[in-house]
Every structure is written in C-alpha cells, then in structure tokens.
Amino acid sequence: MNVIEIENLSKEYQTPAAKVRAVDGVSLRFERGEFAAIVGPSGSGKTTLLNLLGGLDQATAGSIRIAGTDLASLRPGQLIDFRKDNIGFVFQSYNLIPVLTALENVEFVMQLQGRPKAERRARAVELLEAVGLGERLDSRPGQLSGGQQQRVAVARALASKPQFVLADEPTANLDSRSALTLLEIMERLNREEGATFIFSTHDPRVVAKARRVIWLEDGKVVSDKTQEPTI
C-alpha cells in the first residue's frame, strides 16, 4: 500500500531577481517500510521537497496525499494536528528542547498527543534504549554529543508512531563515525519496527545505506533506483 503519493509537485520562490523553481514537477510514491534517500547537490531542492512533504510549506502546484489525505485540503490548525500524529521530523540541528532531558524530549510529543503518563514513559525508555541511550535518559541535550542528540531526535520522531519519518540531512553536522552509527540505528529501527524513513543527504557513505535512492537536480527527479545497501 502506498503511504505517500506525490503528483506533479512544484514549488516556486519569488526572489527579487527571478522566479526559482525549487521543486519542479516531481511525482513519487512511497510505500510503508521504505528506507529512502533523497540525494542531490546543494540547492537541488531536497529541503524544499521534504518541507512540502512534511506539510511545513505549501506547494505552488501538484498534490501530496498521505495515507489517503490530501494535504492541501487541511486547514492550518488541522495540518498541525496531522503532523503531530502522522509525521516524525529529524532536522539537521535544533531538534531538541534544550531545557528538557532526553527522556522528557521523547515524552513531549506523546504528551502533545495526550497519551497517558505510564505509556509515554515506557515507550520513551524503550526508544531511547533502542537508539543506545538507555544510560542517558536524564541528560540534557547540552550534555550529549551531536551524534547522541540526533539519536534522541530519531527516538523522538518515532515516539508519536507516525506514518513516516522525514529527516533533512540528519548527519550533516556529524563526524563520519557518528553519521554511520546514526544511519545504522535508523536502518535497524526501519527493519525491526517497520518505520518508514525518508532522508536527504549528500554524503555518499550515507547514500550507500539506503535501499532506494532518489536523485534530484534543479528540482527534478533525475533518477529513482532501489539498491542493495552496504552493511
């Protein structure tokens, strides 16, 4: 079953100089359980595409359907609730609330969903253990390394049991060892929990971990292939 259906999607930015087509007529389908990388040089439209997909921005043309819902049909307030329940986010940085502990950060999204305390706590602990931070539950983001912070962000993104997780260059600020560890954790959660991941990157070693690679150039999909990931 398709989780995401993107139809002829375009996004134009008006700059003083000219119109920029950051995303240009993209059509894509994603199924449940995918582990897909969106790859392309800087300025190719990766962030714009992911922001559209996450309902953070509005398309100029085309449509996005997520689990049957057309994002364009949602009012702003509904869109926020839709994101809360259906989409997990991992950004390049500033993922966490600095004044909360790792555990509280992961619990926070579930609290927004109104889940009971005991359930929240249990799932947050389970997820933090799954990303290898079972010992750092009570650490604040400032006390964690960059790689550890991104792992908390992955746990947080999965906490709400979303349809899929969008990660925009999650390894961009990490050294290569932490980057690979993060990818391995994401890949394992993808297999074990069946979580769908769509992430952007321009790091070839990260690309090698993906099972599907979508190449963007000037806002257009120039290649879309499945591959055997390197272990």
Partner 1 sequence: MIATIAWKNIWRNRTRSLVVVAATTIGLTGAVLVSALSIGMVADRVEVALRDEVSHIQIHHPLFLDNFESQHRVGAPGDLLEKLEALPQVEAVAARSVLTGMVSTAQKAVGVSLIGINPEREKLLTGLWQSLPNSLQLLERGFAPERASAYLADSVGSYFAEPGRSPQILISERLARELKAQVRSRVLVQLLDAQGYMTGGQFRVVGIFSTSNAMFDESQVFVRQSDLVALTGHEPELCHEIALRLTPEHDMAEALADVTALAPGLSVMDWKTLKPDLGLSYEMLDAMLYIMLSIILMALGFGIVNTMLMVVLERVKELGMLMAIGMNKKRIFAMIMLETVGLSLTGGLAGMLLSALLVGYLGQVGVDLSAFGEGLEAVGYSAIVYPRLNWDNYLGITLMVILTGVLASIYPALKALSLKPAEAVRSE
47 or 149, CB closer to ligand ADP? 47
Q: Does 201 bind ligand ADP (CB under 6 A)?
A: no
Q: Does 54 bind ligand ADP (CB under 6 A)?
A: no
For residue 92, CA distances in Å to 33, 111, 172 come to 22, 24, 6
Site for Mg ion in 38-67 (CB under 5 A): 47
Q: Does 147 bind ligand ADP (CB under 6 A)?
A: no
Find which of ligand ADP, partner 1, Mg ion, none residue 98 binds, CB within 5 to 8 Å per kind.
partner 1
Q: Does 40 bind ligand ADP (CB under 6 A)?
A: yes
Q: How far is the CB of 64 from ligand ADP (least distance, A)?
A: 16
Position among 1, 17, 19, 42 found at the interface with ligand ADP (CB under 6 A)? 42
**Contact range with partner 1 by CB under 8 A, out of 107-115, 192-200, 209-217, 220-228:** 107-115
Q: Does 97 bind partner 1 (CB under 8 A)?
A: yes
Strand partners of residue 213: 37, 225
